[in-house]
Chain A
Amino acid sequence: MGKKDLEKQDIGKTILEELTGGEPKEKRQKRGIWKILQIPALAILTGLIIGAVLIMATSFDVYDAFKVSLWKGLGTAFAEVGEAYLALITGSLGNPVEIVQALLYGDALDFRNAINPILESLVQSTPYIFAGLACALGFRAGLFNIGVEGQLFIGAAAATFVGYSLTGLPPYIHMPLAFLAGALGGALWGMVPGLLKATTGGHEVINCIMMNYIAYRFTTFLLTGPMSRPGTGGMPVSPIIEKSAQIPQFFKTPIRFHLGFFIALAFAALVWWVLFKTTLGLNLRTVGTNPRAAKYAGMNIIATTIIGMAASGALAGMAGANEVLAVNRSMAIGLSAGYGFDSIALALLGNSHPVGVIFAALLFGVLKNGATKMMVVSTIPIDIVTILQAVILIFVAAPAIIRSVYRLKQPKVEAAAIMLSGWGGVK
């Protein structure tokens, strides 16, 4: 036990401190913010450097240039990385020159085009917020929900089904209904590993991954069978959902920025409130930190574990529903691009705290949106984002590496971020 999960309590503690208003706040906060941010910030920086090295090392142009001369080689290498990262930045945050030009001379379409990148990043962030919250909630409850991918698929399928099969409903009923169907689908899918863990002790990691494969195949079956769009010749794609089920987008094309982003923020607030302000939250956190003490305190571990996984699955299902209802308007099998792994990474990056998750999700959204652009201009596969995320995650999970690289002081008490139990069977 010992120092386990020291970071987990920090938040509860902070809240308590806020309430009592005891200790001198100013100083503590200033140092506190740098302390909280230094590791993620340096981890991201290091990740980008490693990404740059990877770009250089896998480019034939760079090798060809090195054959000419060392300087030419270095020049080409840096030019490639520069071009790629510039595309990443302008693709995700927008090009200031274009924005100014559009403001001064352009029409409305030019302006929309200019500000689209940053809004598109928010669109990309939205499923990350939901999925990251799913993992964060799981971590708090001591559950490693690596099944977000599957829950997302099922959630999306459920939302799609409600979205196209019901007709004639007013939007204020149909849209929430489809969204809730997505949450319910995800919750049911997430509940299974929770139930198995609570009753048989089967580790949720293996079960979640199995459920991912089953979900993928099951939705393939649905999209090619019962839910297939007529007239597509067996393509795995669903019918388009009713207008009344769509989550509204705020602007005209090409901007896809939609209400779902704010729904995600609202759910982040809700998750925060539940975790840190309610009895259910205390239940979840206690079971997640010390299940034996939870049992001693009379908490229902089985129910809490199932609720935890179901709630986590519901959030993952919302991520899927959001993508279908707000962005794609129908479901295809290529719906998720690895949200499952990404959400684990961003939950850890955000220290399993809803606020941290929002910021990490924004970062991931920016990276993904930018990488899509980068792929167009420089033929660098989008999977570089996954590599970057993995590298960042390593550094966030093992801050000692970052500290030794940047010669930072090791803290007196190392806060081990997250510790889960092995698979010794029933606890």
Chain B
Amino acid sequence: MAPILQLKGITKQFPGVLANDHIDLTLNQGEILALLGENGAGKTTLMNILYGLYQPDEGEILVNGEKITIHSPTDAINAGIGMVHQHFMLIPVFTVTENVMLGSEPVKAGDFLDRPKTAAKIMEISSQYKLEVDPNDYVKDLPVGVQQRVEIIKLLYREANILIFDEPTAVLTPQEADDLFVIMRSLVKQGKSIIFITHKLREVLDVADRIMVIRRGAVVGEADPKQANRNKLAEMMVGREVNLVVEKDIKKPGDVILSIKDLVVTDQFKQVMVDKVSFEVHAGQILGIAGVQGNGQTELVEAITGLRKSVSGEIKFKGQSILNEPPRKITELGSAHVPEDRQADGLVLPFPVAENLVLCTYYKEPFSRGVVLQYEKILENSEKLVQDFDIRTPSSLTTVGSLSGGNQQKVIIARELSRPIELLVASQPTRGLDVGSIEYIHKRIVQKRDEGCAVLLVSPELDEVIELSDRIAVMYRGKIIALLEAEEVAKETLGLLMAGIVPDKIEKPQGQRVVETTF
């Protein structure tokens, strides 16, 4: 029997990048094939080609041994291919039923939607695969894990046989991820075939039947998860030996720099997102906040940095209250902020690197005198920081928008860390970056801590938090449900905490802790 899916020599060129370089891939009926590679390796491009969102420059696609062409998602759906996208393709203000039926709606009396029919089908699928979804819920009211199951139902509703999961665990707690793996297993048992795209080694080893590694757009090797070696896989992905354990001395924390007490913050719909949170960060200490995205971290960081008004509570920076103070005042007291969404918040993409590097200090000497900007000084500063922080840019006048993600982030890091600061608030500082940039940024953060700066690190990547932090706080539904010394807690315990389950006793890590690559 022919394999259910075959890709032969798929090549895709983007301006300046060869995203896919003659990739061959075979997927057999009833297996989970993991596609492993770091950010920017070309995994998502390949899958978008398969799903008809991009057209390949070269190569062919065979389904059940037959050559097909896929020009649009409709073609892919007709060929039995379905995809769970990394960013969910769900419409928040629609119900589950509406989301599922969209595009292949059953109708009656001409064009009127037959909602009950779809709802019944959803119930049926839901019970067959144990997905537990209520068709009448609005998607915006559902937790992320359930939203993902809605995405899966969308595929099953369309009777897809080949399911592509693109980085499905990025938004899940470790426990939710385990649930997902159970579902994936049950899917292949019932005859479906799965391509699982990820950069996380643990998951690959846990769930895949076969592993294919790609790097810089090309296949670099295959592996069997039963025999694969963790370090070996990491090396295949990155192309060199990776040392992700940051050298870090144990340091005695200094004075309290940031102290937060009973802080309450709401979102724009007046929902309480930060619920009576209290903690302290000391000089020379990294406090990591672990938690699945959307549990109030964003609002917490925005409240601390002055970007969002708090409802009540207390925020003190070096003993001075900064509650509901404007961002500039907080910055001037000596705090720095690496924002969660670097393109939306941290940079003005059409402006040159030089202007972005003075975005928070342009109004002060020496960059301006009175109201007049001093471009000579601004450029001097830029040349220096480009050197010091190894920002790869053609010149200081290049627009930031044309740099790579890693270099954009370095612009922010350079701007924030080059100021004399006593507090660094870093929110997802390495999101979506390649390993080289991650290593560099981690090093810089630890260096700042060693210089005596207090660091508040927020990241949904548990491994990043464990790796860098001296203390770890776990945030769940707006509350800090645990505050622990980093050395004294096992990763599994943290995973449970992130899902809101407080174990009876905190388990200590046993032996050498395995820190997973977080790229």
Q: Give me the interface of A with B, judged by CB distance under 8 Å.
A: 1-6, 8-9, 12-13, 15-17, 19-20, 22, 277-282, 285-286, 289-290, 292-300, 412
Q: Contacts A19-B375, A278-B373, A298-B327 hold; do A1 and B343 have CB atoms under 8 A apart? A: yes
Are B360 and A298 in contact, CB atoms less than 8 angstroms apart? Answer: yes
Question: Which residues of the other chain, B, contact A2 by a CB distance below 8 angstroms?
Answer: 349, 401
The verdict on B298 contacting chain A, using a C-beta distance below 8 Å, is no
With contacts A15-B375, A295-B307 known, what are 6 further pairs, Cβ within 8 A? A19-B379, A285-B351, A292-B345, A293-B344, A293-B346, A297-B328
| Docked complex Cα distance between A129 and B339 (Å) | 41
| Docked complex Cα distance between A18 and B373 (Å) | 15
CB distance from B112 to the nearest CB of A (A): 31
CB distance from B429 to the nearest CB of A (A): 15
| Docked complex Cα distance between A286 and B326 (Å) | 17
Are A13 and B348 in contact, CB atoms less than 8 angstroms apart? Answer: no
Which of B339, B355, B371 contacts A296, CB < 8 Å?
A: B339
CB distance from B367 to the nearest CB of A (A): 9
22 A-B Cβ contacts within 8 A?
A1-B343, A2-B401, A3-B401, A6-B399, A9-B351, A9-B352, A13-B352, A13-B397, A16-B397, A19-B375, A19-B379, A277-B373, A279-B363, A279-B373, A280-B371, A289-B348, A293-B344, A293-B346, A294-B348, A296-B345, A296-B359, A298-B327
The verdict on B350 contacting chain A, using a C-beta distance below 8 Å, is yes
Are B372 and A277 in contact, CB atoms less than 8 angstroms apart? Answer: yes
- Smallest CB gap from B415: residue in A: A297
| Docked complex Cα distance between A290 and B343 (Å) | 9
Q: Number of residue pairs across A and B with beta carbons under 8 Å?
A: 101
Question: Which residues of the other chain, B, contact A293 by a CB distance below 8 angstroms?
Answer: 344-348, 359
| Docked complex Cα distance between A286 and B337 (Å) | 18
Question: Which residues of the other chain, B, contact A16 by a CB distance below 8 angstroms?
Answer: 352, 354, 375, 379, 396-397
Question: Which residues of the other chain, B, contact A285 by a CB distance below 8 angstroms?
Answer: 351
CB distance from A304 to the nearest CB of B (A): 12
Q: Contacts A279-B373, A295-B307, A298-B331 hold; do A286 and B348 have CB atoms under 8 A apart? A: yes
Residue-wise interface mask of B (298-327) relative to A, using a CB-CB cutoff of 8 A (1 in contact, 0 not): 000000011100000000000000000011
CB distance from B468 to the nearest CB of A (A): 23
Question: Which residues of the other chain, A, contact B307 by a CB distance below 8 angstroms?
Answer: 295-296
| Docked complex Cα distance between A1 and B327 (Å) | 23
| Docked complex Cα distance between A8 and B355 (Å) | 14
- Smallest CB gap from B367: residue in A: A279
- Smallest CB gap from A415: residue in B: B350
Are A1 and B397 in contact, CB atoms less than 8 angstroms apart? Answer: no
Q: Give me the interface of B with A, judged by CB distance under 8 Å.
A: 15, 305-307, 326-329, 331, 337, 339, 343-352, 354-355, 359-360, 362-363, 368, 371-373, 375-376, 379, 395-397, 399, 401
| Docked complex Cα distance between A410 and B349 (Å) | 23
Question: Which residues of the other chain, B, contact A292 by a CB distance below 8 angstroms?
Answer: 344-345
- Smallest CB gap from A16: residue in B: B397
CB distance from B61 to the nearest CB of A (A): 29
| Docked complex Cα distance between A15 and B378 (Å) | 13
| Docked complex Cα distance between A280 and B362 (Å) | 10
- Smallest CB gap from B363: residue in A: A279
Q: Contacts A22-B395, A279-B368 hold; do A290 and B401 have CB atoms under 8 A apart? A: no
- Smallest CB gap from A274: residue in B: B371
Q: Contacts A12-B355, A16-B397 hold; do A289 and B350 have CB atoms under 8 A apart? A: yes
CB distance from B350 to the nearest CB of A (A): 4
CB distance from B96 to the nearest CB of A (A): 25
Are B327 and A296 in contact, CB atoms less than 8 angstroms apart? Answer: yes
CB distance from B405 to the nearest CB of A (A): 13
Question: Which residues of the other chain, A, contact B359 by a CB distance below 8 angstroms?
Answer: 286, 293, 296-297
Are B326 and A300 in contact, CB atoms less than 8 angstroms apart? Answer: yes
| Docked complex Cα distance between A9 and B307 (Å) | 26
- Smallest CB gap from A10: residue in B: B350
Question: Which residues of the other chain, A, contact B355 by a CB distance below 8 angstroms?
Answer: 12, 282
CB distance from B15 to the nearest CB of A (A): 7
Question: Which residues of the other chain, A, contact B344 by a CB distance below 8 angstroms?
Answer: 1, 290, 292-293
Question: Which residues of the other chain, B, contact A17 by a CB distance below 8 angstroms?
Answer: 397
Q: Contacts A17-B397, A19-B379, A279-B373 hold; do A296 and B326 have CB atoms under 8 A apart? A: no
Q: Contacts A16-B375, A296-B339 hold; do A279 and B362 have CB atoms under 8 A apart? A: yes
CB distance from B314 to the nearest CB of A (A): 22
Question: Which residues of the other chain, B, contact A8 by a CB distance below 8 angstroms?
Answer: 350
CB distance from B369 to the nearest CB of A (A): 10
CB distance from A259 to the nearest CB of B (A): 28
- Smallest CB gap from A412: residue in B: B15
Q: Contacts A19-B379, A278-B371 hold; do A290 and B349 have CB atoms under 8 A apart? A: yes
CB distance from A109 to the nearest CB of B (A): 49
Interface centre among B359, B368, B399 (most CB of A within 10 A): B359
- Smallest CB gap from B330: residue in A: A298
Are B326 and A9 in contact, CB atoms less than 8 angstroms apart? Answer: no
Question: Which residues of the other chain, A, contact B376 by a CB distance below 8 angstroms?
Answer: 19
| Docked complex Cα distance between A285 and B348 (Å) | 10
CB distance from A412 to the nearest CB of B (A): 7
Are B360 and A297 in contact, CB atoms less than 8 angstroms apart? Answer: yes
Which of A5, A19, A297 contacts B350, CB < 8 Å?
A: A5
| Docked complex Cα distance between A20 and B375 (Å) | 9
- Smallest CB gap from B356: residue in A: A293
Interface centre among A16, A19, A278, A285 (most CB of B within 10 A): A16
- Smallest CB gap from B360: residue in A: A297
Question: Which residues of the other chain, A, contact B329 by a CB distance below 8 angstroms?
Answer: 298
Question: Which residues of the other chain, B, contact A4 by a CB distance below 8 angstroms?
Answer: 349-350
CB distance from B385 to the nearest CB of A (A): 15
Question: Which residues of the other chain, A, contact B371 by a CB distance below 8 angstroms?
Answer: 278-280
Are B362 and A298 in contact, CB atoms less than 8 angstroms apart? Answer: no
Are B401 and A1 in contact, CB atoms less than 8 angstroms apart? Answer: yes
| Docked complex Cα distance between A294 and B356 (Å) | 11
Q: Contacts A16-B352, A282-B373 hold; do A296 and B397 have CB atoms under 8 A apart? A: no
CB distance from A389 to the nearest CB of B (A): 27
- Smallest CB gap from A298: residue in B: B328
CB distance from A11 to the nearest CB of B (A): 11
Interface centre among B360, B375, B397 (most CB of A within 10 A): B397
| Docked complex Cα distance between A155 and B374 (Å) | 35
Are B395 and A289 in contact, CB atoms less than 8 angstroms apart? Answer: no
| Docked complex Cα distance between A4 and B343 (Å) | 12
Question: Which residues of the other chain, B, contact A1 by a CB distance below 8 angstroms?
Answer: 343-344, 349, 401
- Smallest CB gap from A20: residue in B: B379
Are B373 and A290 in contact, CB atoms less than 8 angstroms apart? Answer: no
Question: Which residues of the other chain, A, contact B331 by a CB distance below 8 angstroms?
Answer: 298
CB distance from A20 to the nearest CB of B (A): 6
| Docked complex Cα distance between A281 and B397 (Å) | 18
